[in-house]
Structure 1
Amino acid sequence: MNHEETVEIGDKIVNVLKTIYDPEIPVDIYELGLIYDVLVNDKGQAKILMTLTSPNCPVAETMPKEVEEKVCALEELESVEVELTFDPTWTQDMMSEEAKLELGFL
């Protein structure tokens, strides 16, 4: 897999992430800024570094699994690892302009 293909797969992963919503906020997890990094290597292995709006988030157990399952559905990928982190802590500043507008923060 070459660099161009890994970039293309990265874009596909982002499109999948934009279909996953935080149950308490009507905005997808990508626009909310919950995805810190998406890495794809030339072997078709993906790693997603993400956070939640708070460590006590009710979807702390299910959200990373949902992300992994939906991204794993991409046939170009051999494996997907989702790592949950709270460093740095998520803040509203991490939301995209689109998310802030949708939630009335702009």
Structure 2
Amino acid sequence: MSDQQTIDTAQLGEKIVTVLKTIYDPEIPVDIYELGLIYDVFVNEDSEVKILMTLTTPNCPVAETLPVEVEEKVKTVDMVKDCVVEITFDPPWSQDLMSEEAKLELGLL
């Protein structure tokens, strides 16, 4: 039974990442996952999710709305019972956290 739960949390994690890739920073035409704003996604056996993320800057204009959007969209994923988003600035975001795809999209490669 525990093997099944492990598979479920891994599958759920993948579904959550898929949803995160639909959320965009309004100032940059790249999704927040590829931008490197998502530091970690935790899924427990009760299908409760905790997302550790950052913003491009502490004064980011979407500091109030982006975490709420992430929380609401993740809660729409089947099997997710709850979602909490925690914002951190440690380590601070930098362009080094962006995926190759994001850097290519923004002409940084």
Q: TM-score range, shorter-chain basis?
A: over 0.9
Q: Report the aligned-residue RMSD.
A: 0.7
Please state whether the residue corresponding to 2:59 is helix, strand or coil. coil
Take 2:23 and 2:46, find their aligned partners in 1: how far apart are those partners? 25
Whole-Å Cα distance in 2 between the matches of residues 25 and 77 of structure 1?
Answer: 28
Normalization by structure 1: what TM-score?
A: 0.98
* Alignment gaps of 5+ in structure 1: none
Q: Which amino acid aligns with 1:57?
A: C
Aligned pair partner of 2:66 in 58, 63, 69: 63
> How far, CA to CA, are the matches of 1:92 and 1:61 in structure 2?
22
Q: How big is each residue's C-alpha offset from its partner over 1:27-76, in whole Å with a ceiling of 9 and x where there is no partner?
A: 00000000000010101100000000000000000000000000000120
3-state SS of 2:40 partner:
strand
Q: TM-score, normalised by structure 2?
A: 0.96
Structure 2, unpaired ranges of 5+: none
What's 1:54 paired with? 57
- Displacement after TM superposition at 1:93 (Å): 0.3
1:2 is paired with a residue whose SS is helix
Deviating beyond 3 angstroms after TM superposition, the runs of 4 or more aligned structure 1 residues are none
| Pairing partner for 1:32 from 27, 32, 35 | 35
Identity of aligned residues (%): 68
Residue number in structure 1 paired with 2:46:
43
